[in-house]
A and B are shown apart, each in its own frame.
Chain A
């Protein structure tokens, strides 16, 4: 693509000549090469062709922070309703939970109403009646599992494929494998509405080089850290500063001969400058029509925050951002429950779902209308699911109408990115505690996502501590990609 700032080139050259610094063959060719080719020659994040046939080009990962209940949303359990209030059957009492001892708590039926939706008849509860309109676009994977029953381990599993900290996040692996299509926006963007419990490792690059880490983007104020120019400096002033800087840098480079690192650093400054222009542009939602804004729920206080994130996500994938992750239910200050419904799950999920249901439905509809859904994989999930029995109260819960964390069986759904909608994969047991049919480990989920992006999850590896690490470790054999896209 043609640089948006090509117009500034003559003035830069002008400056160089006026300043008497001159610039010789090498540096000049670098400069010109970037301007005519678009992508800088030595850009380590330059897009790489997918090694396998790709269905999706980018990912939007909707993360329900705290752990959404599968039992109240996408995985109805009639038997659980029947046995509401009774003790947990003996045969299930084999697992560890963060707070709950299974022999002390009763089963908790779902207070929600499920309905079959779309032509496929996919069952979705009334918490997600808007998303339910897109039932025929959703592939609901009901048999997900890992073993991290605390938020940190759950979030680490879902984001990095490992319970402990220190591994690169999914988005980092994707950018490491595919590079970035966007020259002036970060390749991997994360939007939070507050702090997340697992902290920056959830979008960190672990042992991969830091350039693959997620960049936080804010929907209010300066969108990216340090993107705002210092007070009193306008864009033209910053450009002048950069021109002078680069002129000195070119002299420095010429005096030293070949050095791709020095040249790469000069390119990084050009990218930074372009980001300063394009980041504010991408978050400027006034460019969207009132109808589009309403589609995402920007017309209501309840749905506006997450709606903004969803709309921004669409704007970013449109501009070539590879991996976007949105969080719902983070704390803005101190402990806040998010989706962590230890107390009164009904009220908790009603509040939380009301914030995201319309925006997510709007996102799916908008992506579809713009022809972007086919190449954008949308994934919905959280830390884990929740227990079919009540929280034991040791978490500080005040009553017995909440659910504890359940990593042993939970739901993730996917849409777009070549995925055939209206299908259900796998199943949990009769009460929704364990994934039992067609079990899909987090490694399998990750393998599926990488495959849809055209990456081989076995070959995508990085040497560290004496071995080649993979996102999917030694797992990922239940790769769903083929099944999700066929038919």
Chain B
């Protein structure tokens, strides 16, 4: 049933729901023959996946006893009186409670069966099979489907056979294929987030071998640019940022190691199951240290274990509640919540967060089960560990005296400041009566109310003079004597010299480790952090076939192993779907982080399962999925509009054409730099901080929180390496729909608004890139050839005759910089066919 149902077209379902809401499909409730087996069948089909195992709202409809006991709303049936039965009222959708929550309402015939059955006393035949809970589609095991026999002539890949069947069933005809230029531009942006160079385009066009497409895909997959593109998608999913958010927005000094780990994992085509194990529990599965062998060099296998452990950084880069928390326990609780939520969304494609406070309303997850998931993370702590050999770590402290020297200069400066401040304070105090000064000198905790008022008079004067110390701040200007002033300058110079020779930071990584103390996870009241209820053991959600696990020491290992087990149907489906989305702009399931009941049903359930099966059987190779998809015929389709197809499938869910896609925020910036010829391809390392204009800085709370990178080459690095500050996202990215890292983002919104136009028309960034592109075109002699070159760089195609003429005219009238600026603003620049 569910499989059939998933093929129902979205619009049809919507229409049915709409009509039902309007009362147009309101059942006539025809009297039906009393048929207990049919009634029980309906309960099985329509109700038991939520009200069985698990028991949502405490209700289990799989037996008469369960019906009579009911759930949190009381008994669900009154035998002999359907209209007084809660169950019947709910499925009639007459009142506040409307069931089932998802999918079509019950038909008139079905309602009739239920009504007559209850009215006749709700007999449960002794021989009736007990009801099985039919799991939700995404919870059912992945079964590799047979490849359909459709589209044989057109298909290059099994994928195409599924697509062809979809077209046939929906009365669609695929559009023609795109030309090879369009394909290579599409493929390059898909895998690299960058435009192909004119040479790459030329090489592909002139490669007449039958394996030209394979070769192109291989070349793209082998480049390090691939991980930078696909790593970024994963960073969206795991809500990556370099700081913790809120007012203090604490800086994560080594979060970039996790970012580089993600990029490296994609480049290495790390098996995805291994990727899961590492991020959830590498410290438990591959425990290691860095010090036992060798002298200063770390042996390769130890290095690998360390690399794996950096994967646990996934759980260290979320929002940190810091100053908003009352105490460490609340901080820890909020961290646990974040850990469970991100695990659910990233690996299972389930939004479990609702169950923090109450049983999930739509998905089969109770609050108890949510806390069971939390318990896997209890006993874990975030730890900053050195990533150098123990010998090097100790060596670091041999250089500590140089740091001490820096501290000495800082202290001397502070003393100088205090003495100037004191002198000035005394001078001002001298103007006030003795009792005021006396009151001021008394420690404030010991002052009487009278003395408080007196002291306040002097304090006010001192504040006005800028003499009351600002916590955390230094006085900008104090009335130094000439001797003090000169000594201060000397000290500052010597401080700088000392700092230049000192070594401050020991290289570290932030990872998970075992906590010294493991607290019990307790049920809480509606999501409040204060533990109030019974303690909960680690357990997997029952709807996913989970059971309680032995409370072993390695709890996260148990969770990771369960997640990465091929029999868990969700992770492979979810990742196959994310991969599909990266190539078509939309997944087979349009809600990549929600495979639950509030999510979208798959347009191609069997294709998704086929991909998931291939994925697992290939050893969880994401690159294998890329090859399968990119070498298919459907991936070659043109993005051309077709009115007849659009009438039948306006959302292109059956993929009768390629979706035209706008570049995402990072690709817009990277493409501008690449076409300008100034992109710095340096990979990895601490985040780059490009300059901000004063207008951009407006609204940043701590102005010193964005120290601009001094090396201008850093300003032109790929966007994935730009500082990701939670409280102040890089303005250009935000303008082009980069997600808020407050939560996991499975799919970005795409908006089209005027500030994007203003950014590309007027920003310093684009003006400078225009200058660079103009310089790049300088050496070309004829204007028409300049235009042609620009077109090839930006659009991977030569300019047409008309375009050359119009472009050359513009070059003559407006100059090369304005011409270059126009290029970056064209629709063709930011849209991929």
Q: Are B444 and A393 in contact (CB under 8 A)?
A: yes
- Kindly identify, within residues 184 to 219 of chain A, every residue whose CB is under 8 Å from any CB belonging to chain B: 186, 192, 194-201, 204, 206-207, 209-211, 213, 215-216, 218
Q: Is A445 an interface residue (CB 8 A)?
A: no
**Contact flags B445-467 to A (C-beta < 8 A → 1, else 0):** 10101001101100110010000
Closest chain A residue, CB of each to CB of B662: A261
- Kindly identify, within residues 332 to 347 of chain A, every residue whose CB is under 8 Å from any CB belonging to chain B: 333-335, 343-344, 347
Q: Are B699 and A21 in contact (CB under 8 A)?
A: no
Q: Are A244 and B822 in contact (CB under 8 A)?
A: yes
Q: Is A465 an interface residue (CB 8 A)?
A: yes
Known: A195-B700, A221-B694, A268-B754. 10 other contacts (CB 8 A): A96-B326, A201-B727, A221-B695, A248-B828, A268-B753, A269-B761, A272-B758, A335-B473, A343-B459, A401-B453
Partner among B354, B698, B761, B821 whose Cβ is within 8 Å of the Cβ of A218: B698
Q: Is B508 an interface residue (CB 8 A)?
A: no
Q: Which residues of A contact B593 (CB under 8 A)?
A: 465
Closest chain A residue, CB of each to CB of B473: A334
Q: Which residues of A contact B749 (CB under 8 A)?
A: 209-210
Q: Are A400 and B447 in contact (CB under 8 A)?
A: yes
Q: Are B703 and A192 in contact (CB under 8 A)?
A: no
Q: Is B353 an interface residue (CB 8 A)?
A: yes
- A212 vs B52: C-alpha distance when bound (angstroms): 42
Q: Is A178 an interface residue (CB 8 A)?
A: no
- A186 vs B755: C-alpha distance when bound (angstroms): 9
Q: Which residues of B contact A252 (CB under 8 A)?
A: 826-828
Closest chain A residue, CB of each to CB of B468: A398
Closest 7 CB pairs of A and B: A166-B742, A272-B757, A199-B727, A257-B641, A466-B598, A396-B471, A195-B701
**Can you show 6 pairs from A to B with CB atoms below 8 A apart?**
A85-B449, A186-B754, A225-B695, A228-B762, A262-B831, A269-B825
Given contacts A165-B246, A210-B749, contact A200 B729 (CB under 8 A): yes
Q: Is B728 an interface residue (CB 8 A)?
A: yes
The interface centre, meaning the residue of B249, B740, B743, B828 with most chain A CB atoms within 10 A of its CB, is B740
Q: Which residues of A contact B742 (CB under 8 A)?
A: 164-166, 201, 206
Q: Which residues of A contact B614 (CB under 8 A)?
A: none
Q: Which residues of A contact B445 (CB under 8 A)?
A: 393
**Interface residue stretch chosen among A230-238, A425-433, A452-460:** A230-238
Q: Is B363 an interface residue (CB 8 A)?
A: yes
- A222 vs B695: C-alpha distance when bound (angstroms): 8
Partner among A152, A240, A261, A266 whose Cβ is within 8 Å of the Cβ of B660: A261
Q: Which residues of B contact A393 (CB under 8 A)?
A: 444-445
Q: Which residues of B contact A211 (CB under 8 A)?
A: 751-753
Closest chain A residue, CB of each to CB of B825: A245
Q: Which residues of A contact B591 (CB under 8 A)?
A: 466
Q: Are A200 and B727 in contact (CB under 8 A)?
A: yes
**Contact flags A390-414 to B (C-beta < 8 A → 1, else 0):** 0001001011110000000000000
Taking the closest CB of chain B, its distance from the CB of A211, in whole angstroms, is: 4
- A399 vs B461: C-alpha distance when bound (angstroms): 14
Q: Is B596 an interface residue (CB 8 A)?
A: yes
Q: Are B753 and A467 in contact (CB under 8 A)?
A: no
Q: Is A258 an interface residue (CB 8 A)?
A: yes
- Kindly identify, within residues 89 to 115 of chain B, every residue whose CB is under 8 Å from any CB belonging to chain A: none
Q: Is A373 an interface residue (CB 8 A)?
A: no
**Partner-B contacts on A (CB < 8 A):** 19-21, 44-45, 84-85, 96, 98, 106, 148, 150-153, 163-166, 186, 192, 194-201, 204, 206-207, 209-211, 213, 215-216, 218, 221-222, 224-231, 233, 237-238, 240-241, 244-245, 247-249, 251-253, 256-259, 261-262, 264-266, 268-269, 271-272, 275-276, 331, 333-335, 343-344, 347, 393, 396, 398-401, 463, 465-467
- Kindly identify, within residues 670 to 701 of chain B, every residue whose CB is under 8 Å from any CB belonging to chain A: 693-696, 698-701
- A222 vs B762: C-alpha distance when bound (angstroms): 12
Q: Is B553 an interface residue (CB 8 A)?
A: no
Q: Are A152 and B362 in contact (CB under 8 A)?
A: no
Given contacts A152-B247, A211-B753, A226-B762, contact A248 B735 (CB under 8 A): no
**Interface residue stretch chosen among B61-69, B166-174, B254-262, B801-809:** B801-809
- A331 vs B700: C-alpha distance when bound (angstroms): 9
Partner among A198, A228, A237, A256 whose Cβ is within 8 Å of the Cβ of B247: A198
Q: Are B759 and A226 in contact (CB under 8 A)?
A: yes
Q: Is B14 an interface residue (CB 8 A)?
A: no
Closest chain B residue, CB of each to CB of A184: B754
Partner among A196, A271, A400 whose Cβ is within 8 Å of the Cβ of B757: A271
Closest chain B residue, CB of each to CB of A22: B802
Q: Is B818 an interface residue (CB 8 A)?
A: yes
Taking the closest CB of chain A, its distance from the CB of B224, in whole angstroms, is: 30
The interface centre, meaning the residue of A207, A264, A334, A343 with most chain B CB atoms within 10 A of its CB, is A334
Q: Is B833 an interface residue (CB 8 A)?
A: yes
Q: Is B151 an interface residue (CB 8 A)?
A: no
- A229 vs B351: C-alpha distance when bound (angstroms): 45
Partner among A221, A247, A256, A466 whose Cβ is within 8 Å of the Cβ of B640: A256
- Kindly identify, within residues 705 to 731 of chain B, every residue whose CB is under 8 Å from any CB belonging to chain A: 726-729, 731
Q: Is B737 an interface residue (CB 8 A)?
A: yes
Q: Is B25 an interface residue (CB 8 A)?
A: no
Partner among A148, A196, A344, A465 whose Cβ is within 8 Å of the Cβ of B699: A196
Q: Is B814 an interface residue (CB 8 A)?
A: yes
Q: Which residues of B contact A206 (CB under 8 A)?
A: 740, 742
Q: Is B195 an interface residue (CB 8 A)?
A: no
The interface centre, meaning the residue of B456, B468, B761, B814 with most chain A CB atoms within 10 A of its CB, is B761
- Kindly identify, within residues 422 to 478 of chain B, every residue whose CB is under 8 Å from any CB belonging to chain A: 444-445, 447, 449, 452-453, 455-456, 459-460, 463, 468, 470-473
- A244 vs B472: C-alpha distance when bound (angstroms): 54
- A164 vs B338: C-alpha distance when bound (angstroms): 12
- A259 vs B806: C-alpha distance when bound (angstroms): 24
Q: Are A248 and B806 in contact (CB under 8 A)?
A: yes
Q: Are B755 and A215 in contact (CB under 8 A)?
A: yes
Given contacts A20-B805, A199-B699, A269-B825, contact A399 B455 (CB under 8 A): yes
Q: Which residues of A contact B639 (CB under 8 A)?
A: 256
Q: Is B227 an interface residue (CB 8 A)?
A: no
Q: Is B646 an interface residue (CB 8 A)?
A: yes
Q: Are A268 and B473 in contact (CB under 8 A)?
A: no
Q: Which residues of A contact B456 (CB under 8 A)?
A: 344, 399, 401
Given contacts A151-B247, A207-B743, A233-B818, contact A225 B728 (CB under 8 A): no
Q: Is B42 an interface residue (CB 8 A)?
A: no
Q: Are B751 and A216 in contact (CB under 8 A)?
A: no
**Contact flags B659-673 to A (C-beta < 8 A → 1, else 0):** 010100000000000
Q: Is B245 an interface residue (CB 8 A)?
A: yes
Q: Is B198 an interface residue (CB 8 A)?
A: no
Q: Which residues of B contact A85 (CB under 8 A)?
A: 449
- A206 vs B741: C-alpha distance when bound (angstroms): 10
Closest chain A residue, CB of each to CB of B334: A164
Q: Are A152 and B703 in contact (CB under 8 A)?
A: no
Q: Are A401 and B698 in contact (CB under 8 A)?
A: no
Taking the closest CB of chain A, its distance from the CB of B825, in whole angstroms, is: 5
- A401 vs B454: C-alpha distance when bound (angstroms): 11
Q: Which residues of B contact A258 (CB under 8 A)?
A: 641, 643, 646
Q: Which residues of B contact A213 (CB under 8 A)?
A: 734
Q: Is B415 an interface residue (CB 8 A)?
A: no
Q: Are B695 and A399 in contact (CB under 8 A)?
A: no
Closest chain B residue, CB of each to CB of A166: B742
Q: Are A196 and B701 in contact (CB under 8 A)?
A: yes
Q: Are A269 and B324 in contact (CB under 8 A)?
A: no
**Contact flags B205-218 to A (C-beta < 8 A → 1, else 0):** 00000000000000
Q: Are A163 and B699 in contact (CB under 8 A)?
A: no
Taking the closest CB of chain A, its distance from the CB of B101, in whole angstroms, is: 11
Q: Are A241 and B594 in contact (CB under 8 A)?
A: no
- A165 vs B321: C-alpha distance when bound (angstroms): 10
Q: Which residues of A contact B728 (CB under 8 A)?
A: 199-200
Q: Are B324 and A192 in contact (CB under 8 A)?
A: no
- A465 vs B363: C-alpha distance when bound (angstroms): 12
Q: Which residues of A contact B700 (CB under 8 A)?
A: 195, 199
Taking the closest CB of chain A, its distance from the CB of B236, in whole angstroms, is: 13
- A283 vs B626: C-alpha distance when bound (angstroms): 52
